[in-house]
Amino acid sequence: MAKTSAQTARRKPANPRPLRLTVLRTSRPVPSLARVTLGGGDVADFEPMGHDQWFRLFLPTGGVESLTHVPRRLTTASYARFMLVPAERRPVIRNYTVRAYRADGPDGPEVDVDLVVHGSAAEGTAGPASTWAQTCEAGDEVAIIDEGTIYAGSPEATVLLAADESGLPALAGILRDLPRAARGVAVVEVPHPDDRQPLEGPDGVEVRWVVRGSSTTQLRPGASALAEMSGVPVPADEQVYAWVAGESELATGMRRHWVGQGIPKAQISFCGYWKADADH
């Protein structure tokens, strides 16, 4: 996960220790995303922070015993030791966002996680996280290490938000937790028209959905969102906070545009979640 210009304003959990959680249920809210609801285990120790709260997710693809290799604290040194564990014996680690948190689920607190689905688990064309999202079942165990939030906008700022499908869960959380009087524009790029979904947010923040285009340029993930958001005027006489997450070129290209439009770097958070193949 790329660093952000607002790194110093991030909120961090008080005790970012590993939490063992259990899959409660799964669903497919839209074609490109699988939703996994986690709870049980150590979920009572999870500290909800809202906005774009993210965490390290450890998937026991080598068997549940692989979770014994999750570091007690995630530091540069502990991560290096973690990577020395043979691949077939250590869990897969990925970064994900809290899509929703409910303190009063039927059996206690619940955490929803939306994972992008690509490829087919049945045909062996999906990556490890996508395979897990498509095949996990109630009762399966995982571990998470909370990392806190990245969003650092002031309540008074006009907001500009941009994301592709990988950044959609984070953008949805930000919209949900913005002040009701907030104003601005949010642009979300998705691969399929049916990936559009209701998002809770202030009436003054316009949400624009763009479906990945059919032209050669717009087939690259993030290109359509970059083009749409680049056409949004930046208010010259207002405080502005800009946030973007998703494919690497979307994140860096959006930041470059916003800086060129006069937004101070300290008022921009950008996060490259992944990098598309060169032939996209």
Mean pLDDT over 261-279 rounds to 87
The pLDDT of residue 9 is 62
Nearest alpha-carbon partner for 205 in 181, 241, 235: 181
pLDDT at 218: 62
Question: What would the pLDDT profile of 216-265 be if each residue is shown by its tens digit?
Answer: 556 889 999 999 999 999 998 889 999 999 999 999 999 999 999 999 99
Give the pLDDT band of residue 278 (cuts 50, 70, 90).
very low
| Three-state DSSP state, 244 | strand
What are 199's two structure tokens? Answer: 């998002």
pLDDT at residue number 166: 95
- Tokens (6 digits) for 261: 């439009």
pTM recorded for the entire structure: 0.91
Encoded amino acid at 258, one letter: W
Q: What is the pLDDT of residue 69?
A: 94
Spatial separation of the C-alpha atoms in residues 98 and 258, rounded to whole Å = 27
What are the angstrom distances between the C-alpha of 28 and each of 116, 123, 130, 236? 10, 19, 13, 41
> For residue range 45-67, what is the model confidence (pLDDT) as tens digits?
999 999 999 999 999 987 889 99
Q: What rounded mean pLDDT belongs to the chain?
A: 92
Q: How confident is the model at residue 135 (pLDDT cuts 50, 70, 90)?
A: very high
Give the chain's domains with CATH numbers.
7-148 (2.40.30.10), 158-274 (3.40.50.80)
Task: Give the pLDDT confidence score for residue 279 in this predicted structure.
Answer: 38
Listed as own residue / partner, the contacts of 106-109 with beta carbons closer than 8 Å and 24 or more positions apart are: 107/24, 107/39, 107/40, 108/39, 108/40, 108/43, 108/44, 109/39, 109/43, 109/44, 109/46
Which pLDDT score is estimated for 216?
56
Q: What is the mean pLDDT of residues 106-130?
A: 90
In tens, the pLDDT along 137-157 reads: 999 999 999 999 999 999 999
> Region 124-142: what's the mean pLDDT?
92
